[in-house]
A and B are shown apart, each in its own frame.
Chain A
């Protein structure tokens, strides 16, 4: 297997965007190609991550549309759908294709245009990835699964609503420093939890989770250029290698898991990624976790091996995961503040890590970060991917 490096990256600002999906994907792709200082003739293939343009935007065959829009013809093009983990799955496909020796240079773009439909429709669209007979028919949504999970986890480990709010506070604070973030506004504990008006400003979505425990619904796209590591020195930036990759699945219906609090697929993906990289959680300097809900950042930080099970909220409390802490988590603002255009997220996580490892994350740079970790969480943890990235 050949080593693979990331030689270009770019993204659009996330948020409510006027442009259509293809325009967003094009903007991110052109930014990544410009970053790599490459011409379009050198692209061997493209993978496009998208969860639901067929449902949200009346658009299918997204990769075929993008390869044409960018005049990368006749490069092979595939659309990759793996729910909210589509982004990481598309990068995985590019990684495998280069590692195998089939291609040398691959463009990966992930994007979603979610605000084209109403909130009810988008909620139903995301909910449609839950188990049809066991979950979906009841009106289960992703926030509902996260709410039931949070109630159990909080009761077992003594996690308080304040701990969940600490994730939101931290990630919103980081988001203010990220010009690409959907929400660039800091919040306070009093404002979202303790003041009387908090019930209005921060209403319950799926008890015990409130609005500020959930990521926003966003439009946006992100893109990376992957290359065989042996050729990476031909490109302008510090070489960032895809040192490790892991993926694991778990039962579709959350209630069928032996222990519904045990996110086995997160652990499996993380362990595989660390093993391939030959690194341990303690070697990581910066992490991007899939905080679609505040509780998930806490639990993923445990299952990925950074903290003991039931101790993630304690690390959070001590400031370990803050930008100035020992292991900054979600310096980008995470899904919570950067936003979560589902197809784009996994790619955006890698983009942030590359910027951090190159030392280009202006305003939110983790000092001298050499190894990064990210986790892209599909479904409610039934299909999870993790990457370890290392600076050469």
Chain B
């Protein structure tokens, strides 16, 4: 399983996910992959009841998690028992199958207390 990586600008240190070709902060073009922190904080979320095609479940939990370095990422949530500000852990997993291809992305789980 691939680990979860952010892209850090070698010039100014700002971190992005997903990657960019040119740094939004300084215009730098060199990035290095860095590991996301172990835990992030759930900034906001939604329980989606009207899903696009190809999803078999009736609802889908989605959220934005903020990690160290101010890096944020959107992903699926493993449970609907969540609240804003909750600590979450990220895993890299299959998030959707599109045109017969399995697509990998982030799934967030509540961090164990």
Contacts and interface: CB of A to CB of B under 8 A. Distances in A.
Pair from one complex: yes
B62 A255 contact: no
Contact of A151 (B24, B45, B54): B45
Interface in A110-126: 118-121, 123-124
B46 A148 contact: yes
B45 to A, nearest CB: 6
Interface string B92-113: 0001101000010110000000
Interface string B56-93: 00001011100000001111100000001000000000
A23 interface: no
Contacts of B24: 251, 256
Interface in A243-278: 251, 253-256, 260
B46 A260 contact: no
A203 B105 contact: no
A152 B42 CA distance: 11
Contact of A144 (B62, B73, B84, B95): B62
Contacts of A123: 50-53
Nearest to A141: B52
Interface in A144-166: 144, 147-149, 151-152, 155
Contacts of B46: 144, 147-148, 151, 206-209
Contacts of A148: 44-46, 62-64
Contacts of B49: 203-207
B6 to A, nearest CB: 11
B48 A147 contact: yes
B53 A135 contact: no
A209 B47 CA distance: 10
A233 B16 CA distance: 53
Contact of A138 (B17, B84, B95): B95
B43 interface: yes
Decide if the interface of chain B is mainly helix, strand, loop or mixed. strand
A119 B49 CA distance: 13
B64 A260 contact: yes
Contacts of A119: 50
Contact of A137 (B51, B53, B73, B98): B98
Contact of B52 (A124, A134, A205, A256): A124
A137 B43 contact: no
B50 A134 contact: no
A111 B63 CA distance: 33
Given A134-B18, A251-B24, A139 B43 contact: no
B52 A206 contact: no
A326 interface: no
Nearest to B76: A138
Nearest to A214: B50
A191 to B, nearest CB: 20
Nearest to B106: A138
- Among the interface residues B50, B52, B62, B64, which one has the most CB atoms of the partner chain A within 10 A? B52
A256 B48 contact: no
- Among the interface residues A131, A137, A260, which one has the most CB atoms of the partner chain B within 10 A? A137
Contacts of A254: 64, 74
B48 A144 contact: yes
Interface string A223-258: 000000000000000000000000000010111100
Contacts of A144: 46, 48, 60, 62
Contacts of A204: 47, 49
A206 B96 contact: no
A143 interface: yes
Contact of B72 (A121, A207, A255): A255
A91 B17 CA distance: 34
Given A206-B47, A207-B46, A253-B18, A127 B52 contact: yes
A251 B18 CA distance: 11
A149 B64 CA distance: 10
B50 A141 contact: yes
B109 to A, nearest CB: 15
A143 B74 contact: no
B113 to A, nearest CB: 23
B53 A138 contact: no
A118 B52 CA distance: 10
A139 B52 contact: yes
B59 to A, nearest CB: 9
A89 B98 CA distance: 31
B49 to A, nearest CB: 5
A258 to B, nearest CB: 9
Contact of B50 (A131, A206, A255, A256): A206
Interface of B: 16-18, 24, 43-55, 60, 62-64, 72-76, 84, 95-96, 98, 103, 105-106
